[in-house]
Amino acid sequence: MGIQKILFFLILLFAVNTLTYAEIKDQKEAPLMTFDYKNQPEAFWEKYLKGEQLSVCRNHGTERAGSGLYDKFFEEGTYYCACCGGDHAVFDSNAKYDSGTGWPSFYQPVEGGVIARTDPHDTLRGLVGLGRTEVICARCHSHLGHVFDDGPPPTGKRYCMNSIALTFSAKGTPPKRTYTVTEAKESQKSSPKSSKETAIFAMGCFWCGESEFRDDSGAPLKGIISLRVGYAGGSTTHPTYESHEGYKEAVKIVFDPLVLSYTKLLDIFWHNVDAFDAKGQFCDKGFPYTSVIFVGNNAQKKAAMATKAEIEKHFGAPVHTEILESQTFVDAEEYHQNYKHKNPVRYRYYRWNCGRDQRLKQLWPEKSLPNSPKED
């Protein structure tokens, strides 16, 4: 082998080695690329996001129209998802236009930036064919906004976003991180200890109340360990469907607060009761049907009272939902459990005739929280 060939091999070997080293070094310094944002518990998000940003990204909130940073903002550059730290690109300024709605609007996302899906929060709108299409970050699955079919060419789409869920970096500048997280840091904390809490809600007919805590397939929402309908708050020993004097029809939810918060459960509760009915719920009148939050601890009581005050303020009317410190609960007969999915036809017939959805739509035309605006 000539000296030149040996030299060539040496250089090649060096180059390959350097390359491998650089790659490994890169991986070590960029753990963010592989961090599994979309499967983090609520506690994770509460640590990194605060206030309105947490509410929009993780609780499907909407910023007030015209209040965001990027509504009337047209600089050239890239928009990133702020929910997962501001380094995952979701939109480009070249697809941005002024929709006049008060929210930053784009006619298309960057490739692989977002996922559009049937809005799982629009259960009431969905029933009447008005369900929206939610836009979530493809990386962390946080809520960014909605997409509508009234946009400009070439796509005809209007991606209506919340400014607070976005960060912007001018053309040619790197993304601005809003926070950083490394896998090592998060995994060090070992898997969070599993914890359990119980929530009990009386929401009128328990078939309907229970169904709100399940997804379309009939499975309990993520974070729910067990979901039962039964009789709550009474004192006799064997309440039955035929005889449960002193008890309310109720739903008992055992849940993992690290995955699903009590606040989220309260949110579902308030959106699915008529808090202003002192005599019962919808078509069902009488003691067993009035709405009650049966709290199990002080934190639950505080949260329940705070949300009750919010509802009163929002509607300017007294709320008749009671908050009681008791978690006495007896399971109802098996045929009442998951009734909606066992008897879909009878369930829908009953629910429609009871006027539940009609009244709920009146109360919550946009199914939004009292502190969030109506449309995005």
Residues with a catalytic annotation lie at 160, 205
Q: List, in sequence order, the alpha helices (H) in the chain.
A: 3-29, 42-48, 51-59, 123-127, 183-188, 206-211, 262-270, 298-315, 339-342, 344-354, 356-363
Please tell me whether residue 137 binds Zn ion under the rule CB under 5 A.
yes
**CB of residue 229 to Zn ion, shortest distance in Å:** 37
When the beta carbons of 178 and 328 are compared against Zn ion, the nearer one is: 178
Please tell me whether residue 295 binds Zn ion under the rule CB under 5 A.
no
Question: How far is it, in rounded angstroms, from Cα 353 to Cα 9?
Answer: 83
C-alpha closest to that of 322 among 228, 233, 207: 233
Q: Which stretch binds Zn ion (CB under 5 A): 131-139, 167-175, 318-326, 359-367?
A: 131-139
Which residue among 54, 81, 160, 203 contacts Zn ion (CB under 5 A)? 81
**CB of residue 51 to Zn ion, shortest distance in Å:** 17
When the beta carbons of 83 and 303 are compared against Zn ion, the nearer one is: 83
Please tell me whether residue 56 binds Zn ion under the rule CB under 5 A.
no
When the beta carbons of 82 and 250 are compared against Zn ion, the nearer one is: 82
Please tell me whether residue 84 binds Zn ion under the rule CB under 5 A.
yes
**CB of residue 37 to Zn ion, shortest distance in Å:** 6
Query: Does residue 223 come out as left (phi exceeding 0), alpha (psi in the -120 to 50 range) or beta?
Result: left
Does the N-terminal peptide bond of residue 154 adopt cis geometry, omega within 30 degrees of 0?
yes
Please tell me whether residue 161 binds Zn ion under the rule CB under 5 A.
no
Please tell me whether residue 138 binds Zn ion under the rule CB under 5 A.
no
For the record, the structure tokens of 78 come out as 């890239």
**CB of residue 49 to Zn ion, shortest distance in Å:** 11
The residue whose two tokens read 């963010």 is 32
Is 17 strand, coil or helix?
helix
Contact residues toward Zn ion (CB under 5 A) are 81, 83-84, 137, 139-140, 142
